[in-house]
Amino acid sequence: TDVYPFYQEHQAGILTPAQDRLHFAAFDVSAGTTRAGLIELLQDWTVAAAAMAAGRDIGDFGAVSGPYDAPPEDTGEALDLPASGLTITFGFGPSLFEDADGVDRFGIRARRPDELTELPHFPGDMLEPGRSGGDLCIQACADDPQVAVHAIRNLSRIAFGRAVIRWSQLGFGRTSSTSTSQATPRNLFGFKDGTSNIKAEEPGAADAHVWVGAGGGPAWLAGGSYLVARRIRMTIETWDRSILREQEAVFGRDKGEGAPLSGGTEFTAPDFAITGRGDLPLIGAAAHVRLAHPTRNAGIRMLRRGYNFVDGTDALGRLDAGLFFISFQSTPENFTAVQLNLARHDALNEYIRHVGSALFAVPPGAARGSYVGAALFA
Ligand code: HEM
């Protein structure tokens, strides 16, 4: 199976070919944790993340080689499992720089980029505080769910007394492809998702749209990115009763092939000018791909890296299912611009509800011997 090195120029888990499984966790730093305590936590997380990404258990003695009279350093459920393409990606939320009471707990407020504030309230948002925000985040992706869960579990255990999980999300069946070597997967509405996503092989695209440039923000964030997470509930039952023509019109693509309704095959560029019966455009004015398309958003693109989720059923017997949307972009303003357009006009809104939201600045990759985010505290 794949092994992705942890120590890289950019953090892994962004341009890395999207793995099949996700465990995402947002943390709040515990009261009383000092600046030195936070730095130590990031150092401990870095060492453990590098070990797990290499397919090793954590600590000096791991899961079973330590003293009998102490709890094992590693929880053990990933013993015998390969690295499974595990990537662990860390991010810093706006509240790390200034908490809800306006307190600069860690002496980093002056280093907060102007863009790193909570996302605005979008029309239709029904956000639950318990599924939103967070001081820190960890995105663990792997091709084996047990490996992803093992990573979050051990990192949260390491954080004991210093940070606690605020919310977390499991995901499956990546809803994007980030490499041309990958076939396009499908979301829970049955549509191919990720067709015109930014792909790692596309020269210049990541530099232009994903990474924060050297002059594009504070020096500590150069080579990093901004992660937006949105828990988007899908009203599956309503969708499943809508006719195929309506389903295709909502996206502006056909369901079988994923081709734009203006014609061609999956990777044909959509043509928004072509009209059909009654002189109406084949890709309607409210179609998702029209509204999200770079030509309708001042050229904005983002790297989408979301996952499907099904968290059982709700009190009414409906699937608590949807898309855990994750995107990486060079500035959160790019997400905001596209999402405003979608929130106002998207035909998809009849079938979805945004219930969770978070924004994190993702520092560049750590150098060996250093730790994730070191430049923020230098
Ligand atoms: C394209 C589904 C939410 C941004 C697409 C496509 C599908 C899709 C099927 C066409 C295939 C592709 O190019 O990937 C969904 C579903 C969503 C959702 C089911 C919610 C449950 C969002 C959100 C954003 C977004 C919240 C960003 C604010 C985009 C972009 C494209 C796209 C940028 C590519 C447009 C293009 O260049 O053609 N989405 N999407 N989507 N979506 Fe979404």
Q: Kindly report, residue by residue over 254-293, the tens digit of the pLDDT.
A: 999 999 999 999 999 999 999 999 999 999 999 999 999 9
CB of 271 closer than 8 Å to CB of 260: yes
CB of 65 closer than 8 Å to CB of 74: no
Give the distance (Å) from ligand 1 centre to CA of residue 320: 20
DSSP state of 324: E
CB of 11 closer than 8 Å to CB of 18: no
With the CA atoms of 344, 350, 355 and 359 taken in that order, what torsion angle do they form, in degrees rounded to the nearest 10? -40
C-beta 189 within 6 A of ligand 1: yes
% the chain with pLDDT above 90 = 98
Q: Which is the closest atom of ligand 1 to the Cα of 335? A: 28
- Gyration radius (Cα) of the chain, Å: 21
C-beta 338 within 6 A of ligand 1: yes
C-beta 325 within 6 A of ligand 1: yes
Instruction: Please name the residue whose Cα sits nearest to atom 7 of ligand 1.
Output: 193
3-state secondary structure of 236: helix
Cβ of 226: how many Cβ atoms within 10 Å?
26
Let me know if 281 is exposed, middle or buried by CB neighbors in 10 A (0-12, 13-18, 19+): middle
Instruction: Please name the residue whose Cα sits nearest to atom 1 of ligand 1.
Output: 289
Q: Which is the closest atom of ligand 1 to the Cα of 176? A: 14
C-beta 352 within 6 A of ligand 1: yes
Q: Give the span between the Cα atoms of 316 and 155, in whole angstroms.
A: 35
DSSP state of 27: E
Best mutation site among 127, 182, 196, 333 for ligand 1 pocket (most ligand atoms within 8 Å of CB): 196
For 126-157, the pLDDT digits (tens) are 999 999 999 999 999 999 999 999 999 999 99
C-beta 187 within 6 A of ligand 1: yes
Confidence of residue 203 (pLDDT cuts 50, 70, 90): confident
Instruction: Please name the residue whose Cα sits nearest to atom 8 of ligand 1.
Output: 193
Instruction: Please name the residue whose Cα sits nearest to atom 24 of ligand 1.
Output: 339
pLDDT computed for residue 42 by the predictor: 98
Best mutation site among 288, 333, 353, 354 for ligand 1 pocket (most ligand atoms within 8 Å of CB): 288
Residues 6+ apart with CB under 8 A from 260: 252, 253, 268, 269, 270, 271, 283, 289
* Average pLDDT, integer, range 98-118: 97
Any idea which residue has 């939201």 for tokens?
A: 357
C-beta 342 within 6 A of ligand 1: yes
Structure tokens at 83: 């690295």
Q: Give the span between the Cα atoms of 96 and 107, in whole angstroms.
A: 10
Structure tokens at 371: 């730790």
CB of 61 closer than 8 Å to CB of 139: no
Residue 224, pLDDT above cutoff 90: yes
3-state secondary structure of 142: strand
Instruction: Please name the residue whose Cα sits nearest to atom 17 of ligand 1.
Output: 323
Angle at 158 between CA 373 and CA 78, to 5 degrees: 105
Bridge partners for 309 per DSSP: 322
Q: Which is the closest atom of ligand 1 to the Cα of 338? A: 28
Q: Is the ipTM of this complex over 0.90?
A: yes
For 14-60, the pLDDT digits (tens) are 999 999 999 999 999 999 999 999 999 999 999 999 999 999 999 99
Q: Give the span between the Cα atoms of 339 and 121, in whole angstroms.
A: 11
Q: Which is the closest atom of ligand 1 to the Cα of 187? A: 19
C-beta 234 within 6 A of ligand 1: yes
Please, what is the average pLDDT of the chain? 97
Phi, psi of 205 (to 5 degrees): -65, -45
Single out the residue of 125, 132, 130, 122 nearest to residue 93, CA to CA: 132
C-beta 360 within 6 A of ligand 1: no
Phi, psi of 62 (to 5 degrees): 70, -145
Q: Which is the closest atom of ligand 1 to the Cα of 188? A: 19
C-beta 292 within 6 A of ligand 1: yes
